[in-house]
Amino acid sequence: MITVDTTARKYRLISLFIASLGILTLLMADIEISATDPMDELLAILAGFISPDLSQIDYLAEALLTTVSFAVVGISIAATLGIFLAPLHHLPLVSHFCAFIRSIHELFWALIFLQMFGLSSITGVLAIAIPYTGIFARVYSDILEQSPLDRRHWINDTSLSVWLYTGIIPCWAAIAQYTRYRFECGLRSAAILGFIGLPTLGYYLETAFSQGQYNQAAGLLLLFFAMIATLKWWLNIRLVLVYLIAAIVYLPWQSQLEFKYLVRFITQDIVPQPLLEPTLNLSHLSQWFGDLVSGQILPGIGASLLLSVSALLCCGVIALLTWPLASRAILGRGYILGHGLLIVMRSTPEIILAFVIMLIIGPSMLPAILALALHNGAIIGYLLAHRADRVQLRVDRPNGLNLWAYELQPQIYPSFISLIFYRFEVILRESAILGMLGVTTLGFYIDSAFEALFFDVALILILVTAALNMLVNSISLRLRRYLALDRIVTA
Amino acid sequence: MKYLLLCCLLFVNSINAQTFTFTAIPDEDESRLRSRFDKVALYLTEQLGVDVKYVPVKSYSAAISAFRNNQVQLAWFGGLSGVKARHLVEGSRAIAQGYEDQFFKSYFIAHHSTGLTEQAQLNKDIAKFTFTFGSKGSTSGRLMPEHFIRQTFGKSPNKVFKRVGFSGDHSRTIAQVQSGAWQIGAVNYKVWHNELNAGKIDLSKIKVIWTTPTYLDYQWTIRGDVDQQFSPDFSQRVQKALLDMSDPSLLASFPRQKFVPATNDDYEPIKVVAKAIKLL
Amino acid sequence: MTQDCPTVFNISNQAIGFKNQPIFSNLSLMIKQGEKVAIVGTSGSGKSTLLNYLYQCRSVDVAYCPQKSMLVDTLSVYHNIYMGILNQHGFFYNIINLIRPFPVHKTRVEQLTRRLGLTGLLFKSIDKLSGGQQQRCAIGRALYQRLPIFIGDEPFSGLDPKQSVELLKAIKDQHQTVVVALHNKEMALNQFDRIIGIKDGAIAFDTPATEVSSEQLDLIYHRIEHSE
């Protein structure tokens, strides 16, 4: 008997594990499809895309500049802090801190800062800078660990120049490339911050979309796609400093908010209300907290996990199906079409994807699952295509589908699994913002709490979300170690 | 942390406020808010003799936060958001409401596939279907419809209906019920008529099945400390300016025929309902 | 003995290499069917470029074995060897074989692995093999194609001389024409009929193995010792 001992088999087993988990959650999740009659609405949306219109939008240039400026300043701060935190990321305290700050979605950071700084640029920039710092610190540290030079050099020697010469410079290309990719994500985040009122593209997009003004919505979306698609031409790494200075000068920094309101937010608003009663009533407090746990926290955690795991499975399937479409090695020049498709898929805000899908299949958890899967699947697909095109091929390589099946897919599968593990964290974070479909994720309750101005409840729910994220993160880290996937950079 | 400190420093510089600021979220047509309300700001500047500025906000909660944090001193609130804002800001007062807001109502609308017809009472059969509210913080899209549902069924909506959602917006409620994604929805009656006139509604697909009893909705609310901040009779002058507003192009932004006086006490019933539903 | 055989490769006055910067500016070379040719030269002299070019000339008839084994790490020895004949089967056939190997190929590949000294490693993935084992697997991939011509770019590097000779025998048994780039001086002299020396983008000498002078070889191998 010949024993089977292949790395492919290990990946097959882990894929089977993820798939069965995903199918199990899909079976448990509420994925009813109801008959709808969406043609009129879909035609209206289509008509919008046929005749996009930007002329009706006030202050469009301002929104565009604000979006870019938020992203430039936010990402610059995050990348700088990330570089300095990366060498310390092996310390549990630092890695937990980073996991914590990135486990809170930028929209929730923005909602918190909105209470502290109002609709100011500070709110927008911090909402991007903080979670991205956590992301950068982690990924930079992943990259540094693969530094050709011995890691101990820059861990034990605290001098800045040793760290610079042995850590940063050898990895500079990888760091720059990752930062550029993240800038695209930062643009997306900046745009989405408009959904809660910051003056970015999302502000107008949300309005146009919810009012059914689809030509304006289409115009804005197309503008945004164009911005992302042309990124590599206008985001020159050498011009970053120029952009940064321009953005800082451009953004209005003053906040009309008085200091006492900041103090009030910290000392009163976010403190659980029963604790603020003149006499501490323990039974009241425990009842308040008990209601919160049974009414929101537990059902919220359940729904969030169901949604995220189901979405993860679908996301993996979509990534595997889409990456060959954007691969130059497989499609030659045709890759540009797939590339465009992936840009559209990953740049359309999930909420809009979910809305359109819901029109077609009715409300349930399914539109949320599909929206998350399409968006994240497209991101993974894009990264995989990028990776596949860097695989060194023999001159006598097979071509077409054989190339895909025997050469590229097996070669990039480890990256795929690694990306999937990392994406779970992201999906869980993003599942939070799809509460509008009536899917009662933690995010649904957080949104409700902010809407009702129950900041104490919102803060507790955010902390629960963060804890859940960190738990998932540490499980996935262990799995990655076990699978020796931690040697693959999760770009 | 050093950024926080930096921000705190920025605050100190920025309080030179002799600008009177207001915000408004109209219940329909949220496009071009700034250019529309900048005209209202101009009108108020002329009437009050101080610099008046309009700040756009995206949601009821953002409007309340801005009001509470003195970023705006005057706001055009919905019934629920006004009650909440006045609950949070001591001394603030409702000073005017829209003429139509004295007898505001919501429609329950249903997709034709439900087979439901218009009735004078809320039809108990609606429990079989899926149901969507508008925005979570809306009076006409959430608070009052939920109140009447609770009154009829004696339990909360998510225990009544097969499924409950929040579309986020009246126009979206209409679009989603019309497409059959949701079977029933609750919507602001003015938005319904507006979209009907605009030809966006196909009555063969979607229709009104119930009209709620009337209640009070939108109103202007002003902070109590404006009299100290600006001039002793400032809130009265603001009230007068609002009540005197007669230019149809200004009123169309809200859109209301005219404004009539209002008091905090008028909104007591809304407050009771909000407390009962635990939104306050 | 090869005088009357048909020509397999016939290059005359060709520029080979990158478009703007050819490595060979003007190359002429003829190889006839049945010849066993060793190509020797310093690293960087253009051996790989030449072999690559030869492969491109008649890719249908050539079993190619590139310099670094360049196999698919995660897949088994079996699949890597099978990859040699992907083009001989339809896509769905290949896909099924990827998931569940066909017994007929399994038997054949297994026999081949025995000859290659890879017994029992049929379903071990490449990343779990030693460098030498990987090298042999790469040769196996070429052998499994059963084509008339073998082109190898240092296919025996990292293997001991005894193994190398055995493998070369297997290669010669199965292919009419063999063109191999080599490091090993003994092997070139003893196992091939013709030796082509390459230096600085040109053919330095091209003689039957029996007639190669030690000066000629020193010209090449001296340089190798220095460079390595």
Least confident of A7-21, A123-137, B195-209: A7-21
Instruction: Return the pLDDT at B10.
Output: 43
The Cα C60–Cα B167 span in angstroms is 62
* Percent of chain A clearing pLDDT 70 (strictly above): 92
Higher pLDDT, residue B99 or A56: B99
Whether C67 maps to a domain, the answer reads no
What three-state secondary structure class fits B226? helix
End-to-end CA distance of chain B: 33
CATH number of the domain where residue C196 is located = 3.40.50.300
Which residues, in sequence order, are CB contacts of A254 under 8 Å at separation 6+? A120, B10, B13, B14
Q: Are residues C125 and C154 in the same domain?
A: no
Interchain proximity A4–C76, CB inside 8 Å: yes
The Cα B59–Cα B218 span in angstroms is 14
Picking from C62, C91, C120, the nearest residue to A401 by CB comes out as C91
Of A217, A220, A228, A223, nearest in space to A186 by CA = A228
Q: Are residues C135 and C98 in the same domain?
A: yes
Q: Are residues C207 and C110 in the same domain?
A: no
Instruction: Return the pLDDT at B9.
Output: 40
A-B C-beta contacts closer than 8 Å: 161
Q: Are residues C153 and C136 in the same domain?
A: no
Whether C121 maps to a domain, the answer reads yes
- pLDDT beyond 50 at A144: yes
Interchain proximity A405–C94, CB inside 8 Å: yes
Domain architecture of chain B: domains with CATH: 17-101+216-276 (3.40.190.10), 105-211 (3.40.190.10)
Query: How many residues in total does chain B contain?
Result: 280
Of B87, B113, B3, B50, nearest in space to B274 by CA = B87
Instruction: Return the pLDDT at C222.
Output: 61
Say if strands C36-41 and C177-182 run parallel, antiparallel, or are unpaired.
parallel
Which segments of chain B does DSSP mark as H helices, in order?
2-14, 33-48, 60-68, 79-88, 144-153, 157-160, 170-178, 189-197, 226-229, 234-243, 248-251, 268-276
Instruction: Return the pLDDT at C144.
Output: 93
Q: Which of C101, C123, C146 is the last residue of a domain?
A: C146
pLDDT digits (tens, 9 = 90+) for B72-99: 999 999 999 999 999 999 999 999 999 9
Sequence letter at residue C10: N
Interchain proximity C125–A3, CB inside 8 Å: no
Interchain proximity A5–C128, CB inside 8 Å: yes
Q: What ipTM score was computed for the predicted complex, to two decimals?
A: 0.87
What three-state secondary structure class fits B259? strand
Q: Are residues C120 and C191 in the same domain?
A: no
The answer to whether chain A touches chain C by having 3 or more C-beta pairs less than 8 angstroms apart is: yes
Q: Are residues C101 and C168 in the same domain?
A: no
The Cα A90–Cα B113 span in angstroms is 59
Q: Are residues C195 and C165 in the same domain?
A: yes
Q: Which of C146, C181, C197 is the last residue of a domain?
A: C146
Domain architecture of chain A: domains with CATH: 19-51+293-491 (1.10.3720.10), 53-269 (1.10.3720.10)
What are the chain B neighbours of A119 within 8 Å (beta carbons)?
A: 55, 57, 62, 66, 71
The Cα A41–Cα B150 span in angstroms is 32
Least confident of A114-118, A189-193, C70-74: A114-118
Instruction: Return the pLDDT at B130.
Output: 92
pLDDT digits (tens, 9 = 90+) for A224-255: 999 999 988 888 778 888 999 999 988 887 76
Q: Are residues C181 and C116 in the same domain?
A: no
Which residues, in sequence order, are CB contacts of B204 under 8 Å at separation 6+? B112
Least confident of A332-341, A364-373, B145-154, C194-203: C194-203
Whether C207 maps to a domain, the answer reads yes
Closest chain A residue to the Cα of C127, Cα to Cα = A7
Q: Are residues C141 and C152 in the same domain?
A: no
Q: What does the mean pLDDT of chain B come to?
A: 89
- pLDDT beyond 80 at C130: yes
B103 confidence band (pLDDT: 50, 70, 90): very high
Whether C80 maps to a domain, the answer reads yes
Whether C28 maps to a domain, the answer reads no
Say if residues C156 and C164 touch (Cβ distance below 8 Å): yes
The Cα C183–Cα C166 span in angstroms is 17
Could you tell me if A445 lies within 8 Å of chain B, comparing CB atoms? no
Instruction: Return the pLDDT at B2.
Output: 44
Q: At CB < 8 A and 24+ separation, what contacts does A142-148 make? A: A142/A486, A142/A489, A142/A490, A143/A86, A143/A171, A143/A174, A143/A175, A143/A178, A143/A489, A144/A86, A144/A87, A144/A168, A144/A171, A145/A486, A146/A171, A146/A174, A146/A487, A146/A489, A147/A171
Closest chain A residue to the Cα of C129, Cα to Cα = A6
Average pLDDT over residues A338-363: 88
Domain hosting residue C52, numbered range: 33-61+148-228
Cα dihedral across residues A398, A404, A405, A409: positive or negative: positive
Could you tell me if A15 lies within 8 Å of chain C, comparing CB atoms? no
- pLDDT beyond 60 at A207: yes
Of A264, A400, A376, nearest in space to A318 by CA = A376
Whether C49 maps to a domain, the answer reads yes
Q: What are phi and psi of C13, to 5 degrees?
A: 50, 50
Spell out the SS3 assignment of chain C.
CCCCCCEEEEEEEEEEECCCCEEEEEEEEEEECCCEEEEEECCCCCHHHHHHHHHHHCCCCEEEECCCCCCCCCCEHHHHHHHHHHHHCCHHHHHHHHHCCCHHHHHHHHHHHHHHCCCCCCCEEHHHCCHHHHHHHHHHHHHCCCCCEEEEECCCCCCCHHHHHHHHHHHHHHCCEEEEEECCHHHHHHHCCEEEEEECCEEEEEEEHHHCCHHHHHHHHHHHHHHC
Q: Which of C125, C146, C167 is the last residue of a domain?
A: C146
Instruction: Return the pLDDT at A157.
Output: 57
Say if residues B95 and B221 touch (Cβ distance below 8 Å): yes
- pLDDT beyond 70 at B11: no
Whether C130 maps to a domain, the answer reads yes
Interchain proximity A196–B58, CB inside 8 Å: yes
The domain tally of chain C equals 2
Q: Are residues C106 and C124 in the same domain?
A: yes
Average pLDDT over residues B190-211: 93
Of C81, C74, C63, C76, nearest in space to C136 by CA = C81
Of C56, C2, C75, C18, nearest in space to C201 by CA = C18
Of A189, A209, A207, nearest in space to A197 by CA = A207
Instruction: Return the pLDDT at A146.
Output: 67
Higher pLDDT, residue A490 or B220: B220
Instruction: Return the pLDDT at C152.
Output: 92
Among A33, A36, A133, most B C-beta atoms within 10 A, so best to mutate, is A36
Q: Are residues C156 and C52 in the same domain?
A: yes
Instruction: Return the pLDDT at A156.
Output: 56
Whether C182 maps to a domain, the answer reads yes
pLDDT digits (tens, 9 = 90+) for C181-203: 988 788 888 889 999 988 878 88
Q: Are residues C124 and C171 in the same domain?
A: no
pLDDT digits (tens, 9 = 90+) for A25-40: 999 988 888 877 888 8
d(CA A167, nearest CA chain B) in Å: 26
Could you tell me if A36 lies within 8 Å of chain B, comparing CB atoms? yes
pLDDT digits (tens, 9 = 90+) for A62-87: 999 999 999 999 999 999 999 989 88
A485 confidence band (pLDDT: 50, 70, 90): low
Picking from A37, A254, A448, the nearest residue to B179 by CB comes out as A37
Average pLDDT over residues A308-312: 94
Instruction: Return the pLDDT at B12.
Output: 40
